[in-house]
Structure 1
Amino acid sequence: MFDKRFRKTVRMGKMISKGDRIAVGLSGGKDSTVLLHSLAELKKDLPFEIVAITIDEGIAGYRARTMKPAKSECEKLGIEQHIFSFKELCGKTLDDIMKKDREHIPCSHCGVLRRYALNKAARELELDKLALGHNLDDMAQTVLMNIMRCEPSRLARLNEPLTRNARLVPRIRPLMMTPEKEIAIYAMLKGMPIERVECPYARFAFRGHVRKMLNESEERYPGTKFKVVNSFLEIEDALRGKYGKTAVISECSSCGEPCSKGVCMFCRLQKS
């Protein structure tokens, strides 16, 4: 069932083509590790290349514990791995940043820096697409978060940018229709050496409250998460039609990376 759903998601979304060079954002957690394994299995039937990219945020007592199994899995599967760090990117670890910034929550910095680092790394490695381990739960949470924040324009570009930019590597989410519980069971059955440790900054995130709400709804009304994501997919074209007309992706005046405004969020956070 797991493999069938995974392959169907890839096929229906036309996510991977013959000869593609796919970057996998590999943290060492269950989602990205299962994604790596599933793509390696798919590769037996469809010739494409896989390269793992691991981002070290510099979170004491957390990231080091997940980087070891990530490296081990890459070696076992014969997959090339590249490691990039926040320290190399901006001269500071996430811990360093949070010691000085009490205004923003940690996830605000981490999300921006991770997206920036993954895109930059994938482009510099000349990879065609960036595969992320976002599962059904993640997708449902993101949909609700954008609705609760009244940000429909962000929903419109959830699956792909509203306009193309040569410096922006296309993203794919092969696990987007797979529940988190199924991924955890799959990882356990396959004996994957996954560190079950939560990021120490997770307690500050708005996502945690939405996750709890969705889990409670799923328990009472099974299928809630699928319905949330499928509802989004039903209106996605309408959202893209509305917001795509005015969407612009230019280049940051400071660093040259893709952004929708004059200065990208990465550079703005660096100056704050």
Structure 2
Amino acid sequence: MPVPCSAKCGKNAVLKRPKTGDTLCKECFFWAFETEIHKTITTGNLFQPGDVVAVAASGGKDSTVLAYVLKLLNRRYNYGLKLLLLSVDEGITGYRDDSLETVKQNRDDYEMPLTILSYKDLYGWTMDEIVKQIGRKNNCTFCGVFRRQALDRGAAMLKVNTVATGHNADDLAETILMNVLRGDIARLQRCTAIVTSGEGTIPRVKPLKYTYEKEIVMYAYFKRLVYFSTECVFAPNAYRGHARTFLKDLEKIRPSVIMDILHSGEKLSIREGTKLPTRGTCTRCGFVSSQPVCKACVLLEGLNSGLPKLGIGKSSKVNRLRNEAVDF
């Protein structure tokens, strides 16, 4: 039996929103989805008229929907933004080479300039080469650190005002869980921020911060957007995967758990007097770091010196290994 649209537009519903439980027709779902992202942008004061915004594009559902919606909202509400796509080629055969073809399709469909930076050009290594050295246990550490800095490098090169990433509510809830489990209070304090930046770095914003992953998939499906959905070949061993599985199990019991964790993370406070790392700039590359030498430079040093595990673990361990290498 047909279910009427909760918005009382007179049409039959085609979906039930995981976020609110409302039953909506396609048109009302599109409007609700887009309006909520617009509210996130305006409430968070993410952009200013005239800003040049780089959309971090991977070809996946999140960045594809983000690029599409930002273009739509920019026109609908006259944001006055210049939008472009910025992609990072990690050098993962059978994954990133295929996803970049989707990014190029997004470039053509949305008429946005595209810039692609590669690990090979930036660091002299591809992820395929790194995995041969480090194995599959800690490869995501290298990839995550290098990708974050690669986006900073690309943003600086393009002279943009801000970088928009496709992090959604599910991503942030997973990150909060990971930081709680690791006891990483410094990252826990930063991970829920809708705007993140460090000294001398270009701000990053999260327009999809309060958007459920399931609704992003539904929006892309009903809009018939082209996106890449294959999982990274190196991802099955990632720590995030265990947090994601745990979160999905919780969601089956309590559908609101994603937003509950997100709001809890926002409200968590650090005890007064707790010493936190001071974010500055790396003495080698000049990009943001809480240590004299940033994680990317330490990891790269390890690869180039034949000590691929040099940057894995705590700073004290890293410094000891570096000293031992020098003494040897």
What is the TM-score when the length of structure 2 is the normalising length? 0.78
Match of 2:199 in 1: 165
Question: How far apart in 2 are the matches of 1:35 and 1:185?
Answer: 13
Match of 2:49 in 1: 18
* 2:166 partner letter: G
Larger Rg: 2
Of 63, 72, 83, which aligns to 2:105? 72
Of 270, 281, 301, which aligns to 1:271? 301
Of 241, 253, 257, which aligns to 2:287? 257
Match of 1:177 in 2: 210
Question: How far apart in 2 are the matches of 1:231 and 1:5?
Answer: 20
Match of 2:146 in 1: 113
Question: How far apart in 2 are the matches of 1:10 and 1:36?
Answer: 14
> 1:171-194: CA deviations, max 9, x gaps?
100111111110011111111111
CA 1:54/1:103 → structure 2, altered by over 3 Å: closer, same or farther?
closer
**CA RMSD, 1 decimal:** 1.8
Match of 1:35 in 2: 66
The 3-state SS of whatever aligns with 2:255 is coil
Q: Which residues in structure 2 correspond to 1:126-141 (within 5 Å)? A: 126-141=159-174
> 1:201-237: CA deviations, max 9, x gaps?
11111110110111011111110001000111223xx
> 1:151-182: CA deviations, max 9, x gaps?
11111122255x7412x111100111111110
* 2:46 partner letter: M
Match of 2:321 in 1: none
Structure 2 portions without partners, runs of 5+ = 1-31, 303-328
Structure 1 portions without partners, runs of 5+ = none
Deviation at 1:246, TM superposition (A): 5.3
Question: How far apart in 2 are the matches of 1:78 and 1:258?
Answer: 32
* 1:87 partner letter: K
> 1:116-172: CA deviations, max 9, x gaps?
0001110111101111101111000000100000011111122255x7412x11110
Question: How far apart in 2 are the matches of 1:251 and 1:64?
Answer: 32
Asked which structure has the greater RCO (Cα within 8 Å, sep 6+), the reply is 1
Question: How far apart in 2 are the matches of 1:232 and 1:8?
Answer: 20
Question: How far apart in 1 are the matches of 2:229 and 2:158?
Answer: 30
The 3-state SS of whatever aligns with 2:83 is strand
Question: How far apart in 2 are the matches of 1:40 and 1:269?
Answer: 37
Contact 1:155–1:239 under 8 Å retained in 2: no
Match of 1:248 in 2: 278
Q: Which residues in structure 2 correspond to 1:133-212 (within 5 Å)? A: 133-158=166-191, 159=193, 160-161=195-196, 164-166=198-200, 168-212=201-245
Which region of structure 1 is more displaced relative to structure 2, 150-159 or 206-215?
150-159
Contact 1:86–1:93 under 8 Å retained in 2: yes
Contact 1:156–1:240 under 8 Å retained in 2: no
* 1:249 partner letter: R
Deviation at 1:43, TM superposition (A): 1.0
* 2:54 partner letter: A
